[in-house]
Structure 1
């Protein structure tokens, strides 16, 4: 390995080095994540007929509204639910904003008649120490809505803590199960760890596919928490037969909270990409639903429906090298599980920041316990100042690692704006079909084959120019371009002379 390599080895080795403090796990300043406030708001934004009052400056409310609420309503077809602000000024920062908060709560309850009002603290209110809890208790009996303060000031925890905080706290909205409610919901499932945000596929095609599979074995879905769920669904959620985690890491907080508080069983597996993970997910649910026979019949039926195409496609994938972009660690680990277990490919996770060994501990433990220990490549560009998802330095380092790679035997899993020289599959651009489950496994396999089949056709020089402008050292506005391209591209990859691009698959 060249001097550009920071780490090359197995995930278990990286995990050990991180625990022993022998590799730096802190994120550099240029690799910032959302704050606790933002991730908390991402979860509460997934509860229908709920109004969020951001107790702070108006900019906090604006950001949440633009990034989450407007997107949620468009994706789910829900009516627009406003995000309210107490609009704290310099005067309020000095003298406090408790009176403004009380007035906002009363006005929101009267004007919008929500089921729930969430009062979210900002950095400003956390620093000055406004007694939000006292204000909430004073007005609780004066309003019709349920009300809950969320202490999520951004400086008070890293971004993961916002997810965990809200998922644990919304359990307070739930009703303890009774023998009658358990009997009524004995054939129901909650999918936990969902969130309403910019990822429209997360609560659309992917989750709909999981719902279809649950219903296929004769069970019902009570709720997707918190992916466009209602207060009524939350209240009865503890009486469901089982909580099935969507995302192992994010679903773990609410799953364990409900298990400890209400005794609701938890089925916790890795993201259900591919055949093996999907079968584990379904069988785990079936145990608590007492529908093991139905699950096995469904598994056989679903596999048979794709078997011929999948087995033929897999012949072209076995032994091929797959470079998996690792900045979304949970997704990368799940994809690697699918590529190795289901397609017999040779995956390497690239740009897996050592910080993820602590932040994604739950998923890593699960993967290692199931006997999978993928290779990890971390180059110096990953830890350099810049946008570590992709920049010129990391592209050059990866190409150096590959050397004289065979374009018909190597595929890159990542953004459509990354590494134009390598055949590429962008799962975020698969918008019209699920990526989870059996149909998702077939879809992904066919996308890989298509990328390899068209390896000799160079990707557009214009894409390359957009990503790496001449006389520039880094990535050019990829964040804004990626979303736009993802909306326009119907499938998995971009080809030269194809305009917007098209995957040559049915």
Structure 2
């Protein structure tokens, strides 16, 4: 699987056969994922749309991770509008960085501001000037160049420029090839970021060579490393989520380190001093952990995301099995479940029977559905950004979902609004930034993640229940919104099959 000899990571359409266009039931989706084809013969991987309203961009999604890195300046090699969404991350990123380093600054980014003239003459001169300015003005540990669509289309040789400038700068220069037009699966952005990290930050730490043999200190160091676990966090996790997972693994005797979000370049070097890399979400991390396994023989775990009690239990036991700590894990799980049952009882009375529609990343929404069922609520529909192999283990925690409707679509709000009109859920749980359509339909909304929300582990299950209870009891704002706004879709659209525009006839 070694892709590091290439300039950039391949698109997930090719590497994972990921899908961004599917409409049907959970049963049909799972069969399609196993067989690679739709039940009626259309190829799952090649499915597309005759009409598409919006599409995600891997450039902006790459920035969601890159903006979290400490001691870094981000150079967006693109027109000025690309990456403007970073403005919304300023406060959160600064706060999170300072939780790890009180002296950390917020996001520092520059844009090469490519215009029409640069499209003709090339943007390489602007890139050189911007990188040199960033190094001299901010003196960062690393300068990361995120390459946008325009320089990729006109042929700017970003890698050669940075290689040449490396002798003139004190910062480590890292190219990230995350051009939005190269893939329909915007989650390829995570591979693009890890591709740059693997090529520029990952190397064996020198400090291990300083311990003389057969020194007692070396034995202590080896024992410490043997109990180390890297948790691959994601930008949608809160600090409360991290502390919850750290608490659970510390309770069975393990040390925890979090990368890549809010780490600094040196952290990636010492991240090799571990016994196990644990993915929170396979959608984010498989590119990274598989390369570390191949090059450094570090074991990894990609199985489920610890959202909901069943998924959390499975996640803990899988990690414990690697370290032969199953008995300690079972004792912890038993104690946590007993306490959680008591905590959830009053919320079950309020929430039982409520119908829920979930939209967002495939792994997160299916895992969150386990909390919904635990509370006695009913899942009526999913809308996933894309579909790949990493969602399969999470379905095992759910009951009676074969007939639940699934829409695989990166954005495409016209399909979502049609489904919500048909399914008539009582609550919508969705990806941050995609709530406006559902709010205008009058639904109470729970964000699928947020910088101050706890979702993961046992405490996360309680928090989701507590917040659901609150929004179900107080949904007047969105009801008033629905009475005073209207959506841009004609009545005829709501009468059509929501999957009308998904092509199923494409075959190899």
Query: Is 1:138 matched with 2:164?
Result: yes
Q: 1:65 aligns with which of 71, 86, 101?
A: 86
Shift of 1:432: 5.9
SS of 1:288's equivalent in the other structure is: helix
Contact 2:245/2:457, CA 8 A, preserved across alignment: yes
Query: Is 1:189 matched with 2:216?
Result: no
Instruction: Give the structure-2-normalised TM-score.
Output: 0.74
Query: Is 1:309 matched with 2:354?
Result: no
Q: Runs of 5+ in structure 1 lacking a partner?
A: 1-5, 403-409, 476-506
Q: Residue 40 of structure 1 corresponds to which residue in structure 2?
A: 62
SS of 2:338's equivalent in the other structure is: helix
Query: Is 1:21 matched with 2:42?
Result: yes
Contact 1:56/1:86, CA 8 A, preserved across alignment: yes
Per-residue CA deviations over 1:339-389 (Å, capped at 9, x if unaligned) read 44x456543324x36xx5xx3313332235668672455499x99x97247
Structure 1 residues 389, 206: CA separation in 2 closer, same or farther (over 3 Å shift)?
farther
Shift of 1:278: 0.8
Per-residue CA deviations over 1:46-104 (Å, capped at 9, x if unaligned) read 2111111122222225x153144454224544412311122223332222222332222
Q: Residue 228 of structure 1 corresponds to which residue in structure 2?
A: 262
Q: Residue 347 of structure 1 corresponds to which residue in structure 2?
A: 379
Query: Is 1:439 matched with 2:465?
Result: no
Q: 2:389 aligns with which of 362, 372, 377?
A: 362
Structure 1 residues 311, 193: CA separation in 2 closer, same or farther (over 3 Å shift)?
same
- In 2, Cα distance between equivalents of 1:103 and 1:371: 54
Q: 2:253 aligns with which of 218, 235, 251?
A: 218
- In 1, Cα distance between equivalents of 2:449 and 2:317: 29
Q: Residue 336 of structure 1 corresponds to which residue in structure 2?
A: 369
SS of 1:326's equivalent in the other structure is: strand
Q: How many residues align?
A: 441
- In 1, Cα distance between equivalents of 2:196 and 2:338: 42
Contact 2:444/2:478, CA 8 A, preserved across alignment: no
Structure 1 residues 68, 448: CA separation in 2 closer, same or farther (over 3 Å shift)?
closer
Instruction: Give the structure-1-normalised TM-score.
Output: 0.75
Q: Runs of 5+ in structure 2 lacking a partner?
A: 1-22, 99-103, 210-217, 491-508
Contact 2:362/2:387, CA 8 A, preserved across alignment: yes
Contact 1:330/1:360, CA 8 A, preserved across alignment: no
Shift of 1:8: 4.5
Shift of 1:424: 4.7
SS of 1:87's equivalent in the other structure is: coil
Q: Residue 169 of structure 1 corresponds to which residue in structure 2?
A: 196
Query: Is 1:100 matched with 2:120?
Result: no
- In 1, Cα distance between equivalents of 2:54 and 2:441: 28
Q: Residue 54 of structure 1 corresponds to which residue in structure 2?
A: 76
- In 2, Cα distance between equivalents of 1:238 and 1:338: 34
Q: Residue 397 of structure 1 corresponds to which residue in structure 2?
A: 422
Q: 1:115 aligns with which of 138, 141, 160?
A: 141
Contact 2:442/2:479, CA 8 A, preserved across alignment: no
